[in-house]
Chains A and B, each alone.
Chain A
Amino acid sequence: MRKQRTAFFLLLPLLGVTALVLAACGFVLAQSLGHVPAFGLEELTFSYYLAIFRDGEFLRSLGVSLGIAAASALLAALLGTAVCAALTVGGRKGRGLTYVLRLPILVPHAVVALFTILLFSQTGLLARATFALGLIGDFTQFPQLLYTPGYQGAVAAYLWKEVPFVAYFTLALMSGVSDTLGEAAEDLGASPLRSFFSVTLPLSLPAVCRATLIIFIFAFGGYELPLLLGATVPKALPVEAYLAYMSPQLRDRPYAMAMYGVILALSVAMAALYAVLTRRLLRRMEGSGHE
């Protein structure tokens, strides 16, 4: 009884914040459905959602954000898994490198954007180096990576941060599997490479998938990197939604809220997928004899 009460008090701040977030979500949803009494809008309607889905600019923004999210998440998953595998194979010595891994995870996005500009812009370090080496005749020959409608700059910046994240997120599980089941596979005649691909990797996939989902949600809702490194048109969805929100036309507010509603819905769907994956992971590990 007493323990429960202590737990309740300790959780109180979290419950408070959760309540606030839920209230804000409710507020966004209500406004997106046209309920803004302050502007004299009371009637609930789906018309704002219907309207934004007929709006070419919104659809392009949605496409841009989904593209950034998918490219960042998939590439980060692929490269991050490779880094993680290298660290696992490297054994204890390799695991010292995890400190290096943590660094990019800690650097704020705005700073990453600055790094990216310094490195990849047409007057950046790479462009100057290739020019100095005589590989390009003048700076405009350096490929345009930033401020492009393809958002390569934003994806590159996300990768710099999220490849280490995937590796770090997966490392505990993968090295655990490798030290037990991977070892067993080698003992049964599998070469280290086959042991990795037939046992360690398949059993580490749930962690990779979860990390991928986290990155997807994050990159999908991310504001700074697409704003700082992306094109003016088309804009990423969070940028577009923010501009709509800041519009002096107060009656446009429900359109902005509908965009946030879309971001919210997709994020919730991803979070649900995350929960399902986590449960599957737990079930798989049960009674497996390891751990």
Chain B
Amino acid sequence: MSDALDIALRLLAVFAVFLVFPLVIGQTEHKVMAHMQGRLGPMYAGGFHGWAQLVADGVKFAQKEDIVPAGADRRIFQLAPAVALLPYLLVLVAIPIGPHNAVGQDLDAGIFFVLAVMGVGVLGSLMAGWASANKFSLLGGLRTAAQLLAYELPMLLAAASVAMAAGTLSLTGIVEAFHWWWLPWQIVGGVVFFTAGLAELQRPPFDMPVADSEIIFGAYTEYTGLRFALFLLAEYAGIVVLCALTSVLFLGGWHGPFGAAGLGWLWTLLKTVILAFGVIWLRVTYPRLREDQLQKLAWTVLIPLALAQIALTGVIKVVISS
């Protein structure tokens, strides 16, 4: 009985994180962007600094009419937002936030699970792009697919490097094996992983698939109301997952200079939030990469770097163990 209760509580906690964190990231993005660009942003809803703008947005999205274009492939069009969002919920189950089994479910091949399921989310964008029966959507879908194919490989290679270093595929195992000197050792892999992850989420400067000045909003052009909100939510959930994963794999997760007893989860959280801030910062700072620049960056820079990192990891691993 207590086993079932334990599992239910864990799943409930993961679900709560899934519901709350993406919204917090969204709100932070509003505010950070407003401050960095020297503009006010929404300031009235709720009084203090427009804190209730998020609620107002939610109400607005819920009220809007849910339109399916006449020429669209109805069922696939309606299914796409769920396919885009749900994988991130599944991924959150496997990400550890603290020591002593503070994880939804510790998986033997956790790193593979996380990367595999994250890849499924992109199917949602492809389905949306194709089923909308709209040329802009189709172009967006094409760009999404091309981007995924290019950036999945460096992401996997970088993750493989850290798995080699730790000698396990379990996310908990990787954090447990972490030492501070892994930071300089795996830094290249970390940068490659984070960059490729940004590209997979289609966040600026890699937002060619949704480039609003060229193809309206890519695969999501035809969406309205709640379904559109679900796509936005998927993007923010993706940021949470990517930042949490990067901090778990490359920044040591719950390890910190002090406060090891009981405060581990705070370190994970802090690293995740700092990375998420970086993601927002990048959006405000950098212009969009052109499609050919995107592909060139992946195939000529990131993949060689990831391969070099794997070689370095292998050499040092052999030197240590001998």
Whether chains A and B associate is no
Task: Please give the residue numbers on chain A whose beta carbons come within 8 Å of chain B beta carbons, in ascending order.
Answer: none
